[in-house]
Structure 1
């Protein structure tokens, strides 16, 4: 019976349970959902949980755990069963969150303004001035629109009696709102009937309010539409997926610090069409990294001069610089008095009991109760994990007391809460297990006060007996459903009207860095395809041991050595496998695929979900390659799968992507790489004795991915003249040299490039090639050799010109990007 799914879920003494009351009865607001769960058997619940996991993988939802062995893009973890909160309870939470956001905004205005709280002793100067996110250069800086705290998040937890307590404030660049929206998408699909029946409140109003606030407060000239960007530290940030997701959802460019430039007194986005003024920056970059001129000088992520533009009132920064100072948990105990002073109100949401040891009475009380408290750092610059007094023996407690006495200002003590519990489905055991749970709620500054997201991000401890809720420790997230029955949904802000005169058929804000990475994504994809074909050809012929394939094997080795893939000495099998993965500094296929994945991650916001999923699958397979256990048969299987995946990427590029400027750079990268490689391959082959034999020509067709086309046309062994026609002159063969040249010149014309002429001259020279002359020379070997050498020199010149053209494109379109060019990776 399905009753078994919930039969063992009962609250522990002293803990609140999200589903069951202390007497074992189901909470009224959970009754309908628990009835639905009781109708499911373990197999059906397993199916629902699998559906959620599959959607997360297919949507490419990731969360980077630093130092994780699973690679840089770990799948986000979502529990299939949401947390439910009735609307009456949520209204009390939302009122408390909105009040708290208003209070913290007022505190920030005071700390960076008159500093009355510090003068009157309502807040300790040591906790403020000693905090590394208190930015002295921002004192006296009035943010555009007068708002310091545009977005705010608060970590909440339930005590045993069900009351909500604040565990921490997130004021710098609050994360998780995008994950909450993604969780809603996947969990609602797992339980669509219950989602409709419970009338779950929508989350979209929060994001629309955020966008409206940024547009309203952005400092623009009359009639000028504001340009809003989302500033990310880059793909290695733990929540990079969310940055991409939010930029897409809000419809604003995703940028890194290198994409922005200060030209006094404004901030500009460096685009292919020139500099575009930026009016608002929604930042996900920590305070002190934002401006290396006035803040952290070793930051390579920020925008030099940004603070000066903010002082001039010419850019909105959300949240304002310096807001991270309020994330010190030591300030929690001082907020009630600050609330009475600034708002004349009692703080609605109480904070967990906190003692800052910098106050002697508080330190003495903390030392007396040390065994029942949790010791935490007072400042984020301190790096140590929370210490639970209950886990220490008497010797450990005494040592901790001594450390606190030596530096009391660096420590704080908090009451240890017995966190509420929520059911989490375990696939491996086929049942629900209770885990500790907390919730992060979100608020955004609106036109008439703070608007609280009706829901949030529930976070569950990684292990059933763990009381620390942290995604960095492998925790799981849950969707939070605010159930409101027949109540009307909230009125959402109106979107900006887009008329006929506003229509666009190109992206006017395409960052140069984005175009550069699209260009290199195309090059790396084509380069990986070329390398994979070459390694597969060599490995398969080596395993075949057919004397008739000796020429093709020799050609593969020769060309692979020229590219640096294969060493020129040693046992053959390890040499070939090292082309896939080696441990020295020689180029290998794995390194190229990693570069492909990096470039793709940099342009993730421009890729379709299917395209990104294919790249993520590629990256995972590359991550799983084990050089020590790699065998020839396994390697061949990997190469076959890889070539199929790369072919899919090419198909996505041709058929799924909008053919705009970013697509043109992607295709230009592919075309240049293919032209350069193909010309080098043909030039080498034409100067190799015996190349015109069927085995050598067949190998050449394989390398150019034209073997099937040849066989379908000629139904015979490979011969020199038709092979040359197919690979050099055929206007319909996408792997022919002439085809690449025409496509590249068309792209250059569209981009208005200044580098077209040299390639056009060589194309005209190739078009004059008379295969009849070569055919007549076949009767005289010496003349044939000279003819083929002349053709080879032309192809070498085309290959060199293609390489120079790639450099020219970088100089014309990407050189003003102030970072090391990815072109260095091609050397």
Structure 2
């Protein structure tokens, strides 16, 4: 068959090509894919790539490259073409990975246990005791089922002869499995038929197995603390949003159904770990950690850590909580251990190592040091211990004085260095537009994952394929801009694909609320609601004000113009020329500003991140939503992502561009409002979000009416537009807005979701549901104001009592602000007491 896409595909001498044989014929397991793509034009491939990029962007898949200006917002780099591995080859990889995980687990148990390997000379003591990852406080810790390594990953590279080599082990907190699952979700939508035709094995079962296995050991660590059928509480501990793989933490937490927690959400009491929730302290039985070893406990490990839990090591020592992977497991990531694994495997497992490591020499052995110096041009030098914090040095790059200096360092401190043979990485195809549109080979490595089960280690049927930035890259690292691929592992036959088994049906009590809601998450949900509403308020205010400015001549403007610009000043969309106190309300009257000044300020507020306005508020909403990724559905996150698709700019936009952005922002806010109403269960988390929305809307509506009541004449339609109630008013009255019906609609109409009485009633009911009989201070005042609202009479109070109404609205604003502060004090600084603690 004529493979158009392969026209001009360059071979790479000296490297194994994953897709092409040495004769430049496609390998057998690639032919079905290439047949499917045969004859496709470059335009079709570009379309596929655009779909992948859009999906990644809308799903909010990010990877934080610290040196990248985009930082936490850098999109995940996913290539459209997968890496395909045939069944026979994968079976060998799978067996080797399971064996290696078993071996490393045995080594970890021995090093922190009886230390026979050190006594027998199979492990040099200097490699253990000199490693910063060897945590002496963890010595003697016992593990459920003799499993210390619950989740394991290793990096593989293929040599030019096609053999796989292990180039590194990931034993501390292996990352990337969540990205692999996300890759499959995205690429699976691009090639759904190919997944079926190539009999590609699914990944979901691996994660189900991991969760069930952790629950199994979690029940054992709980002892008698669980009732029959009660599941153990498992959490995922993250360093927080600034970690490079934070997206993966949120993705896995959402997928596995685990609460995503930070160190401050947990506490140790009575030798046990507790989650601080709004319903009280709940005992934690399993912690899936993504925090580095020494940061996990500031009490016994690293005193300056703000990421861990004080006393966690003691709780692990007591056996009251299972931490995966075990504290101190980073010791096994040292490349210096690779050269000792063959003899250790024979000693511990009684069999040879099924997959060799890349040739490695620890320079602490005299013979190894001599070998390294003599073969320096073909080696890469790495630090033996993480505390040295040195990057890899390629011997072939060192010439003259630099080479002599490197050799001098090796001889001066040989135990600090490891040398590895430089393996020329295999190549896999990626699509590039230059120098011509087509497929090009790029260096590729594969990260494979395994999890411990009561019956042994299970290997994920796939993994994270990482792609270097060019075909001659010698090191693949995501922190240097590397990309990724989906990994397709073929089953031997269609009938060999595992069927989805039904989970165990256990007798459990129904759960009708979010019992694991932490104070931190509750606060973020509350402010997510407030920021969502604030985005909508600012977008509507800017749209109404700019429309008025563009279409009404200065001579025709009435008192409503002063009211609108006053609201803009309340939001700091129009700031005084020289503000002195940012905490105070603006005092510069908008009347003293020219139309050009006002227009310029409002247009900048639409597009600029440097001034208070729409972009700043959207950024605040996005940051708040990022703290809740594990609780936000994919559909809702896409709405949030679309809201941010327009890049902020510093220059002044055109009037048309500004109005388009405001329309889009209002539409996005409506989408998120619909999600809040129909896409979330009415549990405790929803109540906090709803409470935030209602408090924000109450204050905005009160400000609108206060400004309106202060007008001397003028049109009233702007208030209905701002309140999204113009259609309702017109349908009811078929007339120009008048004060009495307007006030009834915006103030007292219980059926209008924008009315003030609707917000007050909702706030009171929500607080009653959240804390029956013990609501925060301020509830009584708000209830009293609700009674005043209900007692208002149309003619006397609505028409003739503007001063009284203005005072009532001001008291509502002040009471809502007090109530907001008290909600924070009562709910968002929760500490509580653990079971068994006295008063």
Structure 2-normalised TM-score? Answer: 0.90
Q: Does residue 682 in structure 1 map to residue 708 in structure 2?
A: no
1:220 maps to what in 2?
222
1:65–1:238 CA contact under 8 A, matched in 2: yes
* Long gaps (5+) in structure 1: 778-786, 819-827
**Larger deviation: 66-75 or 656-665?**
66-75
Which deviations, in whole Å up to 9, do the C-alpha atoms of 1:745-792 show, x marking residues without a partner? Answer: 221222235243321210110111122125774xxxxxxxxx312211
1:784 maps to what in 2?
none
1:808 maps to what in 2?
822
1:87 maps to what in 2?
87
Whole-Å Cα distance in 2 between the matches of residues 817 and 550 of structure 1? 54
2:835 maps to what in 1?
none
How far residue 245 of structure 1 moved from its aligned partner, in angstroms, is 2.1
1:463 maps to what in 2?
470
1:397 maps to what in 2?
403
How far residue 92 of structure 1 moved from its aligned partner, in angstroms, is 1.4
How far residue 333 of structure 1 moved from its aligned partner, in angstroms, is 1.6
Which deviations, in whole Å up to 9, do the C-alpha atoms of 1:243-284 show, x marking residues without a partner? Answer: 222223222222222222211121112222222211111111
1:5 maps to what in 2?
5
Whole-Å Cα distance in 2 between the matches of residues 485 and 416 of structure 1? 34
How far residue 318 of structure 1 moved from its aligned partner, in angstroms, is 0.9
1:187 maps to what in 2?
187
1:566–1:578 CA contact under 8 A, matched in 2: no
* Long gaps (5+) in structure 2: 579-596, 833-839
Which deviations, in whole Å up to 9, do the C-alpha atoms of 1:606-638 show, x marking residues without a partner? Answer: 2221111111232443xx212245566544432
CA spacing shift, 1:197–1:702, aligned 2, 3 Å: closer
CA spacing shift, 1:382–1:572, aligned 2, 3 Å: farther
1:442 maps to what in 2?
449
Aligned counterpart in structure 1 of residue 662 of structure 2, from 639, 647, 651 = 639
Which deviations, in whole Å up to 9, do the C-alpha atoms of 1:274-314 show, x marking residues without a partner? Answer: 22211111111111111111112222221111111111110
How far residue 148 of structure 1 moved from its aligned partner, in angstroms, is 0.8
Q: Does residue 514 in structure 1 map to residue 537 in structure 2?
A: no
2:528–2:689 CA contact under 8 A, matched in 1: yes
1:241 maps to what in 2?
247
1:789 maps to what in 2?
803
Whole-Å Cα distance in 1 between the matches of residues 24 and 455 of structure 2? 43
Which deviations, in whole Å up to 9, do the C-alpha atoms of 1:715-737 show, x marking residues without a partner? Answer: 43332222222211122221111
The alignment of Structure 1 onto Structure 2 pairs a total of residues equal to: 801
Whole-Å Cα distance in 1 between the matches of residues 245 and 798 of structure 2? 62
Whole-Å Cα distance in 2 between the matches of residues 776 and 160 of structure 1? 88
CA spacing shift, 1:775–1:235, aligned 2, 3 Å: closer
Q: Does residue 20 in structure 1 map to residue 27 in structure 2?
A: no
CA spacing shift, 1:576–1:482, aligned 2, 3 Å: closer
Aligned-partner SS, 1:235: coil
How far residue 544 of structure 1 moved from its aligned partner, in angstroms, is 4.5
Whole-Å Cα distance in 1 between the matches of residues 2 and 767 of structure 2? 65
2:416 maps to what in 1?
410
How far residue 473 of structure 1 moved from its aligned partner, in angstroms, is 2.1
Aligned-partner SS, 1:437: strand
Aligned-partner SS, 2:698: helix
Q: Does residue 666 in structure 1 map to residue 666 in structure 2?
A: no
1:349 maps to what in 2?
355
Aligned-partner SS, 1:186: helix
Aligned counterpart in structure 2 of residue 576 of structure 1, from 602, 618, 630 = 602
CA spacing shift, 1:583–1:437, aligned 2, 3 Å: closer
How far residue 24 of structure 1 moved from its aligned partner, in angstroms, is 2.3
Aligned counterpart in structure 2 of residue 616 of structure 1, from 636, 641, 647 = 641
Aligned counterpart in structure 1 of residue 438 of structure 2, from 431, 435, 438 = 431
1:370–1:397 CA contact under 8 A, matched in 2: no
How far residue 433 of structure 1 moved from its aligned partner, in angstroms, is 0.7
CA spacing shift, 1:576–1:184, aligned 2, 3 Å: closer
Which deviations, in whole Å up to 9, do the C-alpha atoms of 1:345-387 show, x marking residues without a partner? Answer: 2222111112233334333332332232222232333444322
CA spacing shift, 1:484–1:510, aligned 2, 3 Å: same
2:563 maps to what in 1?
555
Aligned-partner SS, 2:386: coil
CA spacing shift, 1:373–1:530, aligned 2, 3 Å: same
Whole-Å Cα distance in 1 between the matches of residues 609 and 489 of structure 2? 53
Whole-Å Cα distance in 1 between the matches of residues 252 and 798 of structure 2? 61
1:201-216 correspondence runs (5 A): 201-216=201-216
Q: Does residue 277 in structure 1 map to residue 283 in structure 2?
A: yes
Q: Does residue 693 in structure 1 map to residue 693 in structure 2?
A: no
Whole-Å Cα distance in 2 between the matches of residues 680 and 221 of structure 1? 57
Which deviations, in whole Å up to 9, do the C-alpha atoms of 1:306-337 show, x marking residues without a partner? Answer: 11111111011111111011111222122222
Aligned counterpart in structure 2 of residue 596 of structure 1, from 603, 621, 635 = 621
1:123 maps to what in 2?
123
Whole-Å Cα distance in 1 between the matches of residues 619 and 58 of structure 2? 20
- Tell me how large the CA RMSD over aligned residues is: 2.5
CA spacing shift, 1:551–1:384, aligned 2, 3 Å: farther
1:201–1:483 CA contact under 8 A, matched in 2: yes
1:6–1:38 CA contact under 8 A, matched in 2: no
Whole-Å Cα distance in 1 between the matches of residues 731 and 161 of structure 2? 77
How far residue 526 of structure 1 moved from its aligned partner, in angstroms, is 1.1
Structure 1-normalised TM-score? Answer: 0.91
Whole-Å Cα distance in 1 between the matches of residues 697 and 672 of structure 2? 15
CA spacing shift, 1:273–1:379, aligned 2, 3 Å: same
Which deviations, in whole Å up to 9, do the C-alpha atoms of 1:441-484 show, x marking residues without a partner? Answer: 11111212211112211111122332322222222212222222
Aligned counterpart in structure 2 of residue 531 of structure 1, from 538, 551, 560 = 538
Q: Does residue 307 in structure 1 map to residue 313 in structure 2?
A: yes
How far residue 103 of structure 1 moved from its aligned partner, in angstroms, is 1.1
Aligned-partner SS, 1:18: coil
2:277–2:830 CA contact under 8 A, matched in 1: no
Whole-Å Cα distance in 2 between the matches of residues 382 and 280 of structure 1? 32
CA spacing shift, 1:211–1:791, aligned 2, 3 Å: same
CA spacing shift, 1:551–1:411, aligned 2, 3 Å: farther
1:421 maps to what in 2?
427
2:609–2:615 CA contact under 8 A, matched in 1: no
Aligned-partner SS, 1:561: helix
How far residue 583 of structure 1 moved from its aligned partner, in angstroms, is 7.8
Whole-Å Cα distance in 1 between the matches of residues 468 and 198 of structure 2? 26
How far residue 101 of structure 1 moved from its aligned partner, in angstroms, is 0.7
1:296 maps to what in 2?
302
1:727–1:733 CA contact under 8 A, matched in 2: yes
CA spacing shift, 1:554–1:393, aligned 2, 3 Å: farther
1:750-765 correspondence runs (5 A): 750-753=769-772, 754-755=775-776, 756-765=779-788
Whole-Å Cα distance in 1 between the matches of residues 125 and 223 of structure 2? 40
Whole-Å Cα distance in 1 between the matches of residues 602 and 412 of structure 2? 61
2:739 maps to what in 1?
720
Aligned-partner SS, 2:166: strand
Which deviations, in whole Å up to 9, do the C-alpha atoms of 1:548-570 show, x marking residues without a partner? Answer: 23633322332333344432227
Aligned-partner SS, 1:469: coil
CA spacing shift, 1:684–1:314, aligned 2, 3 Å: same
CA spacing shift, 1:101–1:491, aligned 2, 3 Å: farther
CA spacing shift, 1:496–1:262, aligned 2, 3 Å: farther
1:423–1:434 CA contact under 8 A, matched in 2: yes
Aligned counterpart in structure 2 of residue 503 of structure 1, from 499, 502, 510 = 510
Aligned-partner SS, 1:281: strand
Whole-Å Cα distance in 2 between the matches of residues 775 and 216 of structure 1? 65
CA spacing shift, 1:32–1:693, aligned 2, 3 Å: closer
Whole-Å Cα distance in 2 between the matches of residues 685 and 637 of structure 1? 27
How far residue 427 of structure 1 moved from its aligned partner, in angstroms, is 5.2
How far residue 5 of structure 1 moved from its aligned partner, in angstroms, is 0.7
CA spacing shift, 1:561–1:190, aligned 2, 3 Å: closer
How far residue 582 of structure 1 moved from its aligned partner, in angstroms, is 6.9
